[in-house]
Amino acid sequence: MALGLIGKKIGMTQIFDENGLVVPITVIQAGPCPVIQRKTADITERGKKIRMKNGSLIEVKVRKSDGYNAAQIGFLDKKKGVLKSEKGHYPEGIAPQKHIREFRLDEGEDISVGTILKVDFFQDAGFVDITGISKGRGFQGVIKRHGFSCGPKAHGSNSVRAPGSIGMNTYPGKVLKGKRMPGHMGVDKVTMQNLRVVGIDPEKNILLVKGSVPGSKNSLLVIQKSVRKKGALGK
């Protein structure tokens, strides 16, 4: 997993392309995201804060390795409800964050703690992959949940929206695992791949992508450069 940004879905709108066709776009606030922790596979000497019995805080050096390369980034300052133990997780100058995500870094990819990642991170990206939590639909039947067809709608029919047969009689005498049936729909982790970047606004940290993304307004999103499809902005 390469480095990305945490964002918030603002909503949807539409624009007209050069041919006069309507293009649906999603408006996303992407960043700013400070890098709050850096993990490395190498053995390094790090500072560790220890609180003494008299209340004083001292810092000692320890040799440590996380075993893998990654970076933790945050999104949106946390203004209340910050625990004392939570404050020690952040370097000086960075406020506690509401949302934290960890990204595994590719080989050769490096970033230092305290760096502020903004939407211009996608300046050279023509396509992005966006992960979010889908809208909750509650308990739904097989027609809406799985796209089943309706039964006969003739007079006296009692199986218009029913799922139909769900198993055999004598053998195996049970419902097979994985059978598509009514149940809870939505609130799943969904990733939309190869979404075209329509434009960015570096001053307001706004990212415009073509099409829809998972989740409702103000829902949290994770945006990364596309893995499968490469290209420059506007191409």
pLDDT of residue 235: 57
Torsion of CA 36, 41, 43, 48, to 10 degrees: 20
pLDDT of residue 234: 60
Segments of 17-153 assigned E as strands: 22-30, 33-39, 44-51, 57-64, 70-77, 97-104, 116-117, 127-133, 138-140
Beta partners for 99? 75
pLDDT of residue 79: 82
What domains can be seen in the chain, in order of their start residue? 4-137+189-225 (2.40.30.10), 141-185 (no CATH)
Q: What is the pTM of this model?
A: 0.78
Grouped pLDDT means (10 residues each) for the chain, 235 residues: 86 89 92 86 72 72 76 87 78 84 82 86 87 94 93 88 86 89 94 90 90 91 86 64
pLDDT of residue 173: 85
